[in-house]
Amino acid sequence: MRILTEAVAPVTADFSEDTWWIWLIKAVAIVVFLLTSVLFAIWFERKVVARMQVRPGPNVHGPFGLLQSLADAMKLLFKEDMTVKAADKLVYIVAPMIAVFCSLLTFAVIPFGPNVSMFGVNTPIQLTDFPVAVLYILACASVGVYGIVLGGWSSGSTYPLLGSVRSTAQVISYELAMGLSLVSVFILAGSMSTSQIVTSQTAVWWFLPLLPAFVIYIISMVGETNRLPFDLPEAEGELVSGYMTEYSSMKFAWFFLAEYINMLNVSAVATTLFLGGWRAPWPISSINDGMFNEGWWPVLWFLAKLWAIMFVFVWIRGSVLRFRYDQFMKIGWKVLIPAALVWVVAVGVVQGVRQFSGLDLRTVLFVLAGLVLAGLVISFVIPEKKQPPAPKRPPGPQVYDPYAGGYPVPPLPGQVLPPSPRKRRAEDTAAAAQADAENQTTPQVTQEVHGG
Amino acid sequence: MSPLATTLLESGETTTAEAVLFWTLGPIMVLAALGLLFAKKAVHAALAVVVVMISLAFLYVAQDAVFLGVVQVVVYTGAVMMLFLFVLMLVGVDSSDSLVETIRGQRWIGLVAGIGLGAVLVGVVGRATYGKPFGLSGEAVDNNPTGVAHIIFGEYVFAFEVVGALLVTAALGALVLTHRQRLTPRVGQKERADARVAAGATLTPLPAPGVYARHNAMDVPALGPDGQPLESSVPRVLRIRGQEADAEEFAARTERVLAGASSVRGVRGNPPPKASPEGAPVNAPELGAAVTDTGQDGPSTGAGGVVGQEDRT
C-alpha cells in the first residue's frame, strides 16, 4: 500500500499526513461500516419489498424488526457446517473466502468525503487512492467472481455447476459493458482516480451529460451483482439456488455477505463516478458558500446517494421478472455493448472537438442539444408516409374459429364465438324436459353424481 | 517520485521492503507454476495460473507499474482465465488428459526441445551483464497511466494499431470458421409450443405424485378425479427402474373409502368438518367423507394424512 499511495501525484486527495494508525482506523472503520451496512441492507430490502407487496415485512425482533438480520446471521452461524462428499475440499472451502475478501477490497478507494481533521491529522475520509483506482475496483470485482465460479464447480453437483457456468458467461459479458460505460467518465474527468473524478464533478454531476453511460452502468451493475432480474446464476426456480446449493452455515453466509457487499460496492461506484460522490446536491451545495461540502457533512450526502441506489436495486427486484437466459445474453451482447461502444466513440469525438477548438463543455453540450432539437423539428416537417388503408371489416359481429391456430383463442372485439354445442345440448335437454313436463306432471331433477 | 525509485537511482539497489515482497511472492509463484505442471485436474492447473498472475501483478505494482499490474488482473485474470475456466467447465471438468500420443515420439521431441530451451535461457541469463537499474522516470512515475498512454499512443501507435487489427481479424476469422449455415428453420420456444399443441400432448405440467391428503411419496401415483392412478405422475426414472409403488393398492383403498364412507366416519380419527354456523354446508356430505378420512384402511403415512402438505413454502 505504501508504494501505491506514494507513487502518485495527480490524485486530488492529499494523503501526505497519514500515519499507520490513521490507516488502521480507516481500514477498520470501512470493514465495520460494510458489515453493519449488510445487516441493515438485508432488513432494508425485506422491509421495502414487503411494503411493495402490501405486507409488513420483518417487524418482530427489535424496533421495526431491525434486529431480524442479526437473528438470521446467528442462525446461520449455529447451523451445521456440511461439506458434501463429492466436493473438491480445498476449492470448496476457499471459494467463499475469495468472494468475501475481494468484495471487501473495493471500498478502500471510495472517497467518503474531503480532507478533515482526524485526531489532529489532516486526512481525507478515504483509505487510499491512486491513478488507476477505478480499474482496481474492476479488478477486484473480476477476481471476486472466481469465488462464485469455483464454489459452483467444487460442489461436484449439477445445479451448482450450471449456476457457475452461467455466472462466468454473465460476468464476461456484463463486465465489458460496465467497463465501457465507465470509460466515458474517464474521458471527461481526465483521470481514473476516484478523488479526482469527484473533484471533476464540482460543476455538473456526470450522470447528466453522460446519461446513456449512466443507464448502461445501472443495468450492467445489476447484472454484475447477480440480482433480479439478472439473478440467473442462482435462479431458485431453475437451479435451486445455483452455485450455493451445496453450501450451508457460515460458508453460505459468506456468499450471502459477498453478494450484499457487492451491491454496496457497485452503488458506491455509481455514486462516485456519476452522482458527484460526496458532493452535496445543488440547492444545499450553495448554502453559506459551500458549507455543506466541507468537514464531515459530505459523508451524509454520500450515504444518502448510496442508499438511494440501494433502493433502486430493491425497487427493481420488487417489480421486474427474471430474464430468460438467451434474452439476457442478447441484451448484453446485442444492445448494451454496442450502445456502450457507440457512446464511447461519441464522447471521444466531443472531447476531441472540445480540446482542439478550446470550447467550453457547456457550449458543446448546448450545440449538441441544438442539433438534436433541429433534427427533431425537421423530422416533424417531413410528411409522414401514407399507410395503406386497413382492409375494411364487414359490419356486425364476426363468427371465427377459436381453434384455428391450434390454441383456443378468446374472441377479439367485434368477434363472437360460434354457437356452443354444449349450450345447444342443454337447450335440447331443456326442451325435452319441458315436453316431458307437459306429458307427465311430476318434475324430475337430474341428480349430480359425486366422487364418480 | 517514490522512495523506491529514489533508492534505486542512488544506490542501484532495491529497498528491503521490495526484497521481502519478492522473496515472499517468488516461492509462491514457483510453487504455483509447478502446480500447473503437475496438477491432475484441469481446474486446479487453471487456479495455479491465476495465483501466478495475481502475484505477478503485485510485483508490477511494486515496481511502479501500477497500470500494468491492475490491467494484468482485469484482462488476464478477470477475462482470459475466466474464459479458460468456462471452457474447462463446458468440456468436462474431471476428464484428465488422455495419455495417448497423437504424434509419434512427441514426448521425446518435447523433452529435447525443452532442455534445449532451458540451456539457451540459462546461457543467456547467466552471461548477461546488468547495467545500473534506473527505474522509471518523469511522468511515468508520477502518473503511470498518462505515461503509458504517451508511449503507446505516441511512440508505438502504429504497432498498437497493427496489433488491434490483427486481433480483430483473428476474432472475425474464428467467427467465419465456426459459422454454419442454417439448413433447417430455427425451432424456438413458440415453434415448440405449437408443435406440442398440434401433437395433442399434455399442455399443463404433469400431475404431481402422491395422493392428496394421504401420501406424498415420489413413488406413489396420484389419483385422477375418477379415482384411478395416473401413471404419468410418477417420475419417469422410477417407472423405468420399476420402483413405482403398487398403484392398485392405493386405488383400491380409495374405492373402499368411497364405498364405506359412512361406516368409517365416527369410528376413529378426525370428525368430518362441521357445517358452518350459518347453516350452509362446507362440502357436499359425500365428498367430505372421502377427504377427511384418516387412512386407516391401509398403511398410513402419518397423523392426519396430510404429511408434508402443510408446510410447503
The pLDDT tens digits of the residues spanning A276-303 come to: 888 888 777 777 777 777 778 888 889 9
Strand partners, A125: A113
Strand partners, B215: B211
Q: Are residues B172 and B248 both part of a single domain?
A: no
The per-residue DSSP string of A368-413 comes to HHHHHHHHHHHHHHSPPPPPPPPPPPPSSPEE--TTTTSS--PPPT
Q: Are residues B172 and B232 both part of a single domain?
A: no
Tens digit of each residue's pLDDT (9 = 90 or more) over B200-218: 878 788 888 876 656 667 7
CA angle A279, A282, A285 (to 5 degrees): 60
Q: Are residues B213 and B255 both part of a single domain?
A: yes
Q: Are residues B173 and B210 both part of a single domain?
A: no
Residue B117's pLDDT band, with cuts at 50, 70 and 90, is: very high
Q: Are residues B148 and B227 both part of a single domain?
A: no
* Residue from A5, A88, A105, A135 whose CB has the most chain B CBs within 10 Å, to mutate: A135
* B261, closest residue in chain A (CA to CA): A451
* Cβ-nearest to A451 among B62, B78, B290: B290
Q: Are residues B174 and B214 both part of a single domain?
A: no
Whether B164 has a pLDDT exceeding 90, the answer reads yes
Query: Is A10 in Cβ contact with B146 (below 8 Å)?
Result: yes
Q: Are residues B172 and B211 both part of a single domain?
A: no
Check residue B289 and give its pLDDT. 40
Check residue A48 and give its pLDDT. 92
What number is the average pLDDT over the span A251-279? 90
pTM: 0.71
> How many domains are there within chain B?
2
* Cβ-nearest to B258 among A131, A406, A451: A451
Chain A from 39 to 98: CB within 8 A of any B CB: 88, 91
Does residue B280 lie in a domain region?
A: no
Does residue B306 lie in a domain region?
A: no
Query: Which of B129, B162, B178 lies at the terminal end of a domain, its last residue?
Result: B178
* Cβ-nearest to B70 among A132, A161, A407: A132
Query: Is B3 in Cβ contact with A6 (below 8 Å)?
Result: yes
Query: Is A406 in Cβ contact with B74 (below 8 Å)?
Result: no
What number is the average pLDDT over the span B224-253? 78
Does residue B286 lie in a domain region?
A: no
* Residue from B53, B54, B66 whose CB has the most chain A CBs within 10 Å, to mutate: B66
Say which amino acid occupies A125.
I
Name the residue range of residue B248's domain: 206-267+294-300
* Cβ-nearest to B82 among A9, A139, A171: A171
Does residue B43 lie in a domain region?
A: yes
Residue that wins the pLDDT comparison between A216 and A156: A216
Please state, as a whole number, how many other Cβ atoms lie within 10 Å of the Cβ of residue B73.
Answer: 25
CA–CA dist A438, A148 (Å, integer): 80
Strand partners, A123: A116
Give yes or no for a contact between A136 and A179, defined as CB atoms under 8 angstroms apart. Answer: no
* B291, closest residue in chain A (CA to CA): A451
Residue that wins the pLDDT comparison between B50 and A231: B50
Query: Is B61 in Cβ contact with A4 (below 8 Å)?
Result: yes
Give yes or no for a contact between A105 and A6, defined as CB atoms under 8 angstroms apart. Answer: no
Distance (Å) from the alpha carbon of A378 to chain B's nearest alpha carbon: 38
Q: Are residues B31 and B115 both part of a single domain?
A: yes
Query: Which of B161, B178, B195 lies at the terminal end of a domain, its last residue?
Result: B178
* B200, closest residue in chain A (CA to CA): A406
Does residue B215 lie in a domain region?
A: yes
Q: Are residues B163 and B213 both part of a single domain?
A: no
Q: Are residues B67 and B118 both part of a single domain?
A: yes
* Residue from B53, B56, B67, B85 whose CB has the most chain A CBs within 10 Å, to mutate: B85
Query: Is B197 in Cβ contact with A406 (below 8 Å)?
Result: yes
Query: Is B144 in Cβ contact with A131 (below 8 Å)?
Result: yes
Give the HSE-up count for residue B53: Cα atoms under 13 Å, Cβ half-sphere.
Answer: 22
Task: Please give the torsion angle defined by the CA atoms of residues B261, B264, B265 and B271, in that order, rounded to the nearest 10 degrees.
Answer: -110
In sequence order, the 6+-apart residues with CB closer than 8 A to the CB of B308 are: B216, B302
Query: Is A7 in Cβ contact with B64 (below 8 Å)?
Result: yes
Q: Are residues B9 and B69 both part of a single domain?
A: yes
Give chain A's radius of gyration (CA, Å): 30
CATH number (domain holding residue B53): 1.20.120.1200
What number is the average pLDDT over the span A20-44? 90
Does residue B169 lie in a domain region?
A: yes
Q: How many CB pairs under 8 A join A and B?
A: 118
Whether B137 has a pLDDT exceeding 70, the answer reads no
* CB-based contact, A146 to chain B, within 8 Å: yes
Does residue B188 lie in a domain region?
A: no
Distance (Å) from the alpha carbon of A304 to chain B's nearest alpha carbon: 30
CA–CA dist B74, A175 (Å, integer): 10
Q: Are residues B9 and B137 both part of a single domain?
A: yes
Check residue B14 and give its pLDDT. 67
Query: Which of B159, B178, B197 lies at the terminal end of a domain, its last residue?
Result: B178
* Cβ-nearest to A168 among B61, B86, B197: B86
Please state, as a whole number, how many other Cβ atoms lie within 10 Å of the Cβ of residue A196.
Answer: 20
* CB-based contact, A131 to chain B, within 8 Å: yes
Whether B266 has a pLDDT exceeding 50, the answer reads no
* Cβ-nearest to B66 among A7, A153, A165: A7
Does residue B49 lie in a domain region?
A: yes
What is the residue-averaged pLDDT of chain A? 83
Q: In chain B, what residues touch A406 (CB-CB under 8 Å)?
A: 194, 197-198
Distance (Å) from the alpha carbon of B76 to chain A's nearest alpha carbon: 10
Say which amino acid occupies B298.
G
Check residue B167 and give its pLDDT. 94
C-alpha cell at A262: 457487492
Largest CA distance in chain B: 106
Residue A271's pLDDT band, with cuts at 50, 70 and 90, is: very high
Check residue A4 and give its pLDDT. 38
Q: In chain A, what residues touch B41 (CB-CB under 8 Å)?
A: 88
